[in-house]
Amino acid sequence: MSQTSNPCQHMNLASSSIGDVKYCADCGIVHLAVQNLSLRLETETFRTLTYMLAQAQLNMEDHEHYSRHQYQAVQNVKPFIKKTH
């Protein structure tokens, strides 16, 4: 007698124009689909990934903020710099 496996029962956790995140409580797997990329992650791995992405976003925003202020500071100083050639 062969044993049949039940397909995953996905619960939609989030979706956007670029993809979606679904969860299967039976197998404990998070299904992440972003454009042409599809990942199946254990819940702890998914949690770690989300923390890492959140940290990356904060660092990127800090860098962009710093770069804008640095650019503005250079623009403010340019009128006072004499060309030597």
- DSSP state string for 33-81: EETTEEEEEEHHHHHHHHHHHHHHHHHHHHHHHHHHHHHHHHHHHGGGP
Residue pair 54/60 in contact by the 8 Å Cβ criterion: no
Q: What is the pLDDT of residue 85?
A: 52
Tell me the pTM.
Answer: 0.66
User: Which neighbouring-strand residues pair with 59?
Assistant: none
- Grade residue 43 by pLDDT with cuts at 50, 70 and 90: very high
Q: What is the pLDDT of residues 13-32, one digit of tens each?
A: 999 999 999 999 999 999 99
Query: Token pair for residue 8?
Result: 């995953």
User: Among all chains, which residue has been given the structure tokens 């989300």?
Assistant: 50
Is the model more confident about 54 or about 75? 54
Mean pLDDT of the chain: 84
